[in-house]
């Protein structure tokens, strides 16, 4: 069971890394893994946003994830601590 206190702690923790370079590894099911590297742009009460530069079409896009995705291990978030702004 997911407890609201756990989500609040996770949100506070992630909020401390806003502006840092992160890698998000998302499990899309059926052995499909999506990896994106970008900047943790903003942490909202229910979601956090990662800004990703797409090299293939030279555009930038924003991906949003729920904090429960981390708790349920649907995504894996890695923070590059040496590149924190």
Q: Under a CB-based contact definition with an 8 Å cutoff, are residues 39 and 55 in contact? A: no
Where do the domains of the chain lie, and which CATH numbers do they carry? Answer: 4-83 (2.30.30.100)
Which two three-digit tokens encode residue 48? 């956090």
Q: Under a CB-based contact definition with an 8 Å cutoff, are residues 60 and 52 in contact? A: yes
Q: What confidence score (pLDDT) does residue 63 get?
A: 94
Residue 61: closest CA among 34, 30, 28: 34
Q: What confidence score (pLDDT) does residue 85 get?
A: 55
Q: What confidence score (pLDDT) does residue 83 get?
A: 57
pTM: 0.83
Q: What is the mean pLDDT of the chain?
A: 88
pLDDT tier, 3 (very low <50, low <70, confident <90, very high otherwise): confident
Q: What confidence score (pLDDT) does residue 28 get?
A: 86
């Amino acid at each position: 069971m997911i407890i609201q206190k756990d989500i609040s702690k996770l949100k506070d923790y992630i909020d401390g890394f806003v502006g840092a370079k992160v890698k998000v590894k998302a499990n899309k099911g059926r052995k499909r893994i999506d990896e994106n590297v970008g900047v943790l742009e903003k942490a909202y009460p229910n979601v956090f946003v990662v800004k990703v530069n797409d090299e293939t079409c030279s555009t930038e896009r924003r991906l949003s994830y729920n904090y429960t995705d981390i708790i349920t291990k649907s995504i894996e978030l890695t923070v590059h601590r040496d590149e924190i702004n």
